[in-house]
């Protein structure tokens, strides 16, 4: 059965993220799902079958943009979670999303999907525009040997791995550096990510001069003066926000930012499965939750105060 087009009125370069499940086999204390909502639980969403995801996502038009006469850019799609391999139709989704998607899966490379002979991995069809990023969470008691074994299984299944990340937890930097060196022996692109959230009463990330940690993956946070006001989860205020994101919750609800998705906020753009036209504000919109923003939403997003003063967390401002 053919499906009506799903028109999502956003610029081509908007970030599209499909959170096909928020479930995870780990409970990392620094998980971005939790750090922006210490006083409430993460929203619970029912899962949707893979065929619904595939039909809806493949029916979004205009996913190619001509770069020049020969080359067309394809729309990027991040498949994320939680741990996306826990979705029962994970392989079906990857194998049936059409070629106009350029897909990046982010996984912790651990759990039932990677166990034994990892049959699921071998069932994933090889395609040019599919890659995995991995994250190693040694604080969850997963041994480095086991993680490396799963990285090798993934590569042997013919799946391209782009980056492997380790969160640079300020209390475990020696281990982080040790594991980084170890992982670089099996994969060239291993990056230490900045730690987000609170550690010993301080909100991270801190300005670089307060660290002795080398971070290969820089997020967009450079304005350390304004960062705590928006991201410390202490008090709310009204702010104009400009977002270029389209985030699909596990039930298809569409949100503009991680805070709203993780809390199941009433302010949503609609639902991917129930609506044919979703319109995203291209301009600033008013939000009353500034103060509870998630660090994943700090990068490059402009804000504007009610008096009209604009600022950006990604731009460096002296303390």
Q: How far is the CB of 104 from ligand SF4 (least distance, A)?
A: 15
Give the interface with ligand SF4 as residue ranges (CB under 6 A). Answer: 24, 26-28, 31, 33, 81-83, 108, 135, 137, 239, 241, 243, 256-257, 259-260, 287, 289-290, 292-293, 297
- C-beta closer to ligand SF4: residue 6 or 256: 256
Q: How far is the CB of 298 from ligand SF4 (least distance, A)?
A: 8
Q: How far is the CB of 72 from ligand SF4 (least distance, A)?
A: 31
Q: How far is the CB of 81 from ligand SF4 (least distance, A)?
A: 6
Tokens read off for 45: 């969403």
Q: How far apart are CA 146 and CA 186, in angstroms?
A: 13
Cβ within 8 Å of residue 195, ≥6 positions away: 30, 167, 168, 169, 170, 204, 205
- C-beta closer to ligand SF4: residue 218 or 237: 237
Tokens read off for 303: 């804000």
Kindly provide the b/e burial profile for residues 3-36, where b requires at least 16 CB atoms within 10 angstroms of the residue's own CB. eeebebebeeebebbbbbbbebbbebebbbbbbb
- C-beta closer to ligand SF4: residue 120 or 300: 300
- C-beta closer to ligand SF4: residue 83 or 89: 83
Q: How far apart are CA 176 and CA 212, in angstroms?
A: 13
- C-beta closer to ligand SF4: residue 56 or 105: 105
Q: How far is the CB of 151 from ligand SF4 (least distance, A)?
A: 15
Q: What are phi and psi of 254, to 5 degrees?
A: -115, 125
């Amino acid at each position: 059965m053919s499906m009506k087009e799903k028109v999502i009125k956003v610029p081509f370069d908007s970030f599209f993220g499909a959170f096909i499940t928020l479930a995870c086999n780990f409970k990392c204390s620094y998980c971005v799902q939790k750090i922006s909502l210490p006083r409430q639980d993460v929203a619970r969403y029912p899962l949707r079958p893979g065929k619904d995801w595939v039909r809806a996502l493949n029916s979004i038009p205009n996913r190619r943009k001509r770069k020049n006469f020969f080359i067309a850019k394809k729309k990027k799609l991040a498949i994320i979670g939680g741990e996306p391999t826990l979705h029962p139709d994970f392989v079906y989704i990857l194998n049936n999303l059409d070629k106009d998607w350029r897909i990046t899966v982010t996984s912790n490379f651990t759990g039932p999907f990677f166990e034994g002979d990892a049959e699921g991995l071998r069932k994933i069809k090889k395609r040019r525009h599919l890659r995995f990023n991995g994250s190693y969470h040694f604080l969850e008691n997963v041994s480095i040997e086991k993680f490396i074994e799963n990285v090798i299984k993934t590569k042997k299944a013919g799946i391209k791995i782009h980056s492997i990340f380790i969160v640079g937890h300020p209390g475990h930097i020696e281990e982080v550096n040790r594991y980084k060196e170890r992982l670089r022996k099996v994969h060239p692109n291993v990056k230490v990510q900045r730690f987000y959230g609170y550690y010993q009463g301080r909100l991270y990330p801190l300005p670089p001069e307060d660290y002795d940690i080398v971070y290969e993956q820089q997020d967009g946070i450079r304005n350390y003066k304004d960062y705590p006001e928006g991201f410390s989860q202490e008090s709310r205020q009204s702010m104009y926000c400009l977002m270029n994101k389209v985030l699909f919750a596990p039930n298809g609800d569409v949100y503009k930012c991680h805070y709203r998705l993780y809390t199941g906020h009433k302010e949503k753009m609609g639902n991917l499965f129930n609506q044919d036209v979703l319109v995203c504000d291209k301009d600033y919109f008013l939000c009353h939750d500034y103060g509870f923003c998630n660090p994943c939403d700090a990068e490059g997003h402009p804000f504007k105060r009610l008096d009209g003063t604009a600022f950006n967390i990604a731009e460096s401002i002296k303390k």
